[in-house]
Chains A and B, each alone.
Chain A
Amino acid sequence: MQPSHTTPADNTQAHGQQHPIGLYLKIWGLLFVLSTLSYMVDYFHLQGYLRWFLIITFMLLKAGLIVAVFMHMLWERLAIIYAILLPPLCLLVFIGLMAAEADYTFLSRVVFFGRGPQ
């Protein structure tokens, strides 16, 4: 998308984030469409990898649009973009650790509960 914007420094009429209203309306419309699509995934009972792939794709697109345009990250300086958006990447490691641990717990439960009463 071509950002139709002015940076705070060269804005003369007002200060801060100043963008045409139309931009917000377009993003709003897109968010509506994406939400409808992700609801459709459930409505049509898509299952398996296709379902997960679509859910995550629509989720990331919506999150990206909200952060980039509504929260104005697109027009912030790189210094604050990196300070805010890089730390959450640690969570990927956390998710990986917990998923591995959960697999292990699940297997031990299957083994333990699978024996039945003794």
Chain B
Amino acid sequence: MATPTASSTVTPTGNTSLTVRAWRELNSDWGSDKEAFKNVPWGKAMMWIFLLSDTFIFSCFLIGYMTVRMTSTDPWPLTSDVFALEIAGQHIPLILIAIMTFILITSSGTMAMAVNYGYRGDRKKTAALMLTTAILGASFVGMQAFEWTKLIEEGVRPWGNPMGAAQFGACFFMITGFHGLHVSIGVLYLSIVAFKVWRGDYESKSMESKGMESKSAAPTDGRNYQIVEITGLYWHFVDLVWVFIFAFFYLW
């Protein structure tokens, strides 16, 4: 990131409201004919743009699901029963999905704290929290594998199932499969970055030797833990997608 120009650091004082100030900033940022995303490291901007494109992919899946569900003349299978489990003789609807939701939210929490400790320069805590996040993510994938196995045993196929509308299987495997793939890749990504954090790759000395020390506005001691925040963005996005899948596919 280049050193910010005057326009990005000048903070207009006086009676101007926060909104007016933000709008002026927006204008000068886009009008300065240089970098629009000031103080945003390029890696972070690129991750955001990737996530934006991913948003459209998942939206296409969910909109496709909406369309086939609305057009189907057969009744849609009751997700509440399809995803119920017998635990200790009790029939609990949707319990596995609820547990998976809580696990993913917990992993988002540990990820947010990892980002925080990264910027504080606490190398070991950052790596440990990222590893915790990865383990929670892996357990999520494990439960998904269990869920897939259960449904396949019950005869759910992409082209039909015994419970109702034939399109149910295709939507289920497509949407949760693509999300599970994102979680699996996230687990890999997290493990790699956690290992590099633990090894000290982002400390001042090793950053200087690669010419990669942070160039952001604030003093940095040459440390650069932005990668943790960027990885975190990806992970939170995976959690975000699950929020929508949970609402539209499982609860609707």
- Interface residues contributed by chain A, number (CB under 8 Å): 62
Identity of the chain A residue whose Cβ is nearest the Cβ of B250 in the assembled complex: A42
Are A77 and B101 in contact (CB-based, < 8 A)? no
Question: In whole angstroms, what is the CA distance A109 to B41 when docked?
Answer: 52
Q: A56 near B247 (CB under 8 angstroms)?
A: yes
Task: Report whether B119 and A15 are in contact in the complex, using a CB–CB cutoff of 8 Å.
Answer: yes
A70 to B214: give the CA distance in the assembly, Å: 22
Residues of B near A9 (CB, < 8 A) are 4, 9, 39, 217-218
Q: For chain B, what secondary structure do more than half of its interface residues adopt (helix, strand, loop), or is it mixed? A: helix
Q: How far is the CB of B176 from chain A (nearest CB, A)?
A: 17
In the complex, which residue of chain A has the Cβ closest to the Cβ of B111?
A: A70
Q: How far is the CB of B218 from chain A (nearest CB, A)?
A: 4
Interface of chain A: mostly helix, strand, loop or mixed: helix
Task: Please name all residues of chain A whose beta carbon is closer than 8 Å to the beta carbon of B191 when the two chains form the complex.
Answer: none
Contact string against A for B residues 103-147, beta-carbon threshold 8 Å, 1 for contact and 0 otherwise: 001101101110110011100000000000000000000000000
B251 x A41 contact (CB < 8 A)? yes
Total number of residue pairs linking A and B with CB closer than 8 Å: 184
Q: Are B37 and A83 in contact (CB under 8 A)?
A: yes
Chain A residues with CB under 8 A of B102: 32, 35
Interface hub of A16, A66, A82 (most chain B Cβ within 10 A): A16
In the assembled complex, B85 has its CB within 8 A of some CB on chain A: no
Interface centre among A15, A21, A87, A95 (most CB of B within 10 A): A15
User: What would be 17 A-B contacts, judged by CB atoms less than 8 Å apart?
Assistant: A8-B217, A16-B216, A28-B105, A42-B251, A51-B251, A52-B252, A66-B236, A70-B111, A71-B237, A77-B38, A78-B22, A78-B29, A83-B37, A84-B52, A98-B66, A105-B67, A113-B73
Question: Residues on A close to B: CB < 8 A?
Answer: 8-9, 11-19, 21, 24-25, 27-28, 31-32, 35, 38-39, 41-43, 45, 51-52, 55-56, 58-59, 62-63, 66-67, 69-72, 76-80, 82-84, 87-88, 91, 94-95, 98-99, 101-103, 105-106, 109-110, 113
